[in-house]
Structure 1
Amino acid sequence: MRQAVPIASSAPSWLPAALRGPSWSLREVWVRWASIIGLTTFFVVAQADWHGLPRWQVWSMLLLRIATSWNGNALLFFYLRRRLPGYENTMRRVLLAVGLSVAFTVLTNFPLTWLTRSTLEPGLAFWPAYWKSLLGCLRFVVLATSLYESVYFFHQWRHTARQAAGFARESAVARFEALKQQVDPHFLFNSLNSLAGLVGDNEPAQEFLGSLASVYRYVLLSKDHATVPLSQEMDFVADYLNLTAVRFGAAVQVVIHLAPEALRQHVPPLVVQLLVENALKHNAISEKSPLRITIRAAGDVLRVCNSRHHKTVLAQTSRQGLQNIVARYQFITDRPVGIDPRETEFEVCLPLLPAA
Structure 2
Amino acid sequence: MDNKQIPLHAGFDATTTATEALAGRDLSGVQAIVTGGASGLGLETVRVLAGAGACVLVPARDPHQAQAALHGMAGVEVATLDLLDPQAIDSFAAAFLATGRALHVLVNGAGIMATPLLRDARGYEAQFATNHLAHFQLTARLWPALRQAQGARVVCVSSLGHRQAGVNLDDPHFLHQQYDKWRAYAQSKSANALFAVELDRRGAAHGVRAFSLHPGAILTPLVRHLDLDDLRRVGALDDAGEVNPPPQSGFKNVAQGAATAVWCATSARLDGLGGVYCEDCDIAALVADDSTGPGVRRWASDPVQARRLWVLSEQMTGVSFDCDAA
TM-score, structure 1 as length reference:
0.20
Q: Greater relative contact order (Cα 8 A, min sep 6): structure 1 or 2?
A: 2
More helix by share: 1
* Structure with bigger gyration radius: 1
